[in-house]
Amino acid sequence: MLILLDVDGVLNPQSQHPRLVLSPDRALLVQRLAGLGDIVWATTWSPTHTFHLTRDLELADTTEGIAFPRDMHADPAAPAPTPKLHWVARWLARQDDPPRAVVWIDDLLRADAEDWAAAQPYPTLLVHPEPRAGLTSEHVDEVTAFVAAL
């Protein structure tokens, strides 16, 4: 099972500081997720940053990341499309083997992502943290219940 994980607004709640300040509690949440499936970085952060994040969180060396265009920007208040959807769908379609299931955790998931998830041939769960709060234990509990039901 794949867990597509964003950073900003998820691991790095929106704040006045653009740097990632990963609390020990949030690091434990990521480690709980890693115990449920394979983490895939679904963030606009650079591969260098996600490499260090992978190491700091003690995730598998094989942790992958989805490449997004550098100039991709999205207005969090806009109702229109999920900015990463095209790139996530393309990355998943290019995998050698279809996933058993997918969890996508991102603070910018819109109605088009819900439609996309419903149309997938494998179980797909979208988790949409509130960007000022980020990932919570309730979100990880939701993923845990989803995995248990597979």
Per-domain residue ranges for the chain? 2-148
Write out pLDDT tens, residues 88-126: 999 999 999 999 999 999 999 999 999 999 999 999 999
Residue 89 and residue 126 in contact, taking contact as beta carbons nearer than 8 Å? no
Q: Residue holding tokens 């509990």?
A: 141
Write out pLDDT tens, residues 7-66: 989 998 876 556 777 889 999 999 999 999 999 999 988 899 999 999 999 999 999 999
CA-wise closest residue to 84 among 51, 110, 48, 49: 110
DSSP 14: S
The reported pTM is: 0.92
CATH 3.40.50.1000 fits 2-148, yes or no: yes
